[in-house]
Structure 1
């Protein structure tokens, strides 16, 4: 479990102190991660840029705890150059990917 205050500001301060490179944002009652990421598949952009990643979780104590853990995970993937949009995109956004049918 994550220790400390469970506010977006406190979480972001811990992430900054640890040089994670990812921040937690709250939009309405949902939580998002913000980081400099490669363009999404099928995007016309070619350079890394600031993007929000939806966590699809509510901004409650359990959600804030999960968001901090997900931010650290995303930061590690970015640092190791192992980030892949397929881990974070909705199924609807992935529907144009070719798959095999039985």
Structure 2
């Protein structure tokens, strides 16, 4: 029994290190129009002052904000960094 354990462990390591199949990334959700709003990335909150959005709901997320994890495809999320620049725009 003592001689079998190293072989079993080696086989388990080899299986766990084997290349896994690549999985396609899911299509991004765009019900809120976030794909069309990607030009906002890099802009600041001042740039948004005169803008309107097609999304039913727009959520602005600042560093340290506590946000809900509910998924709402019609909601546009606009994420800001510490300097007030937009780093990400996505639906959800």
TM-score category, normalised to shorter length: under 0.3
TM-score (norm 2): 0.27
Choose between structure 1 and 2: higher helix proportion: 1
Choose between structure 1 and 2: higher strand proportion: 1
Higher relative contact order (CA 8 A, sep 6+): 2
